[in-house]
Amino acid sequence: MDDPSRPSFHPLRILAAWGVHLFTAGGLLAGFMALLAVADRDWRTAIGWLLLAQFIDGIDGTFARMVRVWEVLPNFSGKTLDYVIDFATYAIIPAYFFFESDLTTGAGTWIGTFAILLSSALYYGKEGMVADEQYFVGFPVLWNWVVFYLILVFDLAPAWNLILVILFAVLHFVPIKFAYPSRARRFKWLTLGFSALTIIAILVLLWHYPQPALFWRWAAVAGGAYFGIMGILTTWFAGSKS
């Protein structure tokens, strides 16, 4: 029996709400296609699918707010759906990508892959991953971007690739405040600008892959450096005021 206290909605609005959730779930399909590409050792295609998955994740919230899905479908948790897909596309699939991509060798491959998976799982179990919806506390689970940089931007020896992976795994639990670009309040436009620069640089590098594009490599380095430096400065000044 229908609950008389629950408001009724136009069928088109209900359809739109389910459409938003289906759109969000499409990120998992993009992630699965990335898995197939990794299995074929087609790094370029795999990165393209993972970028599509992140694009979906980046705009589905806007659609959800437009439709107000939480009102139309109160018994369905879009946030839980989002978490499941995020963990797949930002942790599990990049871990498999790392494992198959020859970025490290021998035992280092296993150590790096397990470091990605275990640190990501523990990070998701923390309370307060996002502080005041402005910052990620600790390095966020963005292992797709770590793999992008190791393949497209850097050209490092296997030992250095492993060291970087372990470093980022440890940074999950260091209370540095990393900017949340879409929700940033301080230096919002500067942060969005460097976010755009980084994305454009990765897209250009992907287009030219496996040929080098030196200028865009440095542009990607500048984008990554911005978030690292801002994280340190934000954490430092926040601590000095407390």
pLDDT of residue 132: 64
- Is residue 150 one of the residues assigned to a domain? no
- Is residue 106 one of the residues assigned to a domain? no
Does 198 have pLDDT greater than 50?
Answer: yes
Number of domains in the chain: 1
Task: Work out the percent of the chain whose per-residue pLDDT is above 90.
Answer: 62
Is 85 within 8 Å of 27 (Cβ atoms)?
A: yes
Task: Work out the percent of the chain whose per-residue pLDDT is above 70.
Answer: 93
- Is residue 234 one of the residues assigned to a domain? no
Does 3 have pLDDT greater than 60?
Answer: no
pLDDT of residue 71: 85
- Is residue 32 one of the residues assigned to a domain? yes
- Is residue 232 one of the residues assigned to a domain? no
- Is residue 82 one of the residues assigned to a domain? yes
Considering only residues 185 and 204, tell me which one the structure prediction assigns the higher pLDDT.
204
Q: Is the pTM of this model over 0.85?
A: yes
| Domain coverage including residue 56 | 1-87
The stretch 15-26 carries a mean pLDDT of 92
How many residues appear in the chain? 242
The pLDDT mean for the chain works out to 89
Does 240 have pLDDT greater than 80?
Answer: no
pLDDT of residue 188: 80
The stretch 25-39 carries a mean pLDDT of 97
Q: Which of 57-61, 101-105, 132-136, 177-181 has the highest mean pLDDT?
A: 101-105
The stretch 185-197 carries a mean pLDDT of 86
pLDDT of residue 1: 44
Does 214 have pLDDT greater than 70?
Answer: yes
Does 137 have pLDDT greater than 90?
Answer: no
pLDDT of residue 6: 60
Does 196 have pLDDT greater than 70?
Answer: yes
- Is residue 128 one of the residues assigned to a domain? no
- Is residue 173 one of the residues assigned to a domain? no
Considering only residues 128 and 89, tell me which one the structure prediction assigns the higher pLDDT.
89
> Residue 13's pLDDT band (boundaries 50, 70, 90)?
confident
